[in-house]
Amino acid sequence: MDYDELRMSSYNESKLTFKKEEFLKLTLLTVDCPAINKITFTDGAVPKMEKITWTLSRIESLSGIKNLPKLNRLQLFGDHVPYQVKEDIKALRMRLVYTHGFTQEQQKQAKRGAEEDQEKDDVRFQLSCFTSKNWCISPSSP
């Protein structure tokens, strides 16, 4: 196929596989689809790929990036990056600019979760301490 850029935002499968001689002119891949958690590049697939941007909720695998000779930029937005993916990225660190971050929505969700956890902790562990007498009284104490 003769695309320079491919944007995946609605896809029903969990895995994308790029095979040899598919998308020969593709230079940019943007994936913003929560269903996709695996991407595989076989040897000889997308030989001109320069940049991948992937917004995800959960990544299971990103395999075959070593098969992308022109790849120089990788951006991942999401929570967890598996160990093997990190190792593959490290192996390409001389030619690859890698960034990992969170979308604004992911940051808001994380902040809300942290605030809820803090509120629970505040209620659970609220103590009145009198350091001069070495006393601590919890609200549930009689």
Q: Could you state, in order of their start, the residue ranges of all structural domains in the chain?
A: 5-104
- Does the pTM surpass 0.85? The reply is no
Q: How many CB atoms within 10 Å of residue 33? A: 20
The answer on pLDDT for 69 being more than 50 is yes
User: What confidence score (pLDDT) does residue 114 get?
Assistant: 62
* Coil/strand/helix, residue 124: helix
pLDDT confidence band for 52 (50 / 70 / 90): very high
From CA 100, how far away is CA 135, in angstroms rounded?
46
pLDDT confidence band for 32 (50 / 70 / 90): confident
The DSSP 8-state label assigned to residue 20 in this structure reads T
User: What confidence score (pLDDT) does residue 101 get?
Assistant: 84
Kindly state the percentage of the chain with pLDDT values over 70: 65
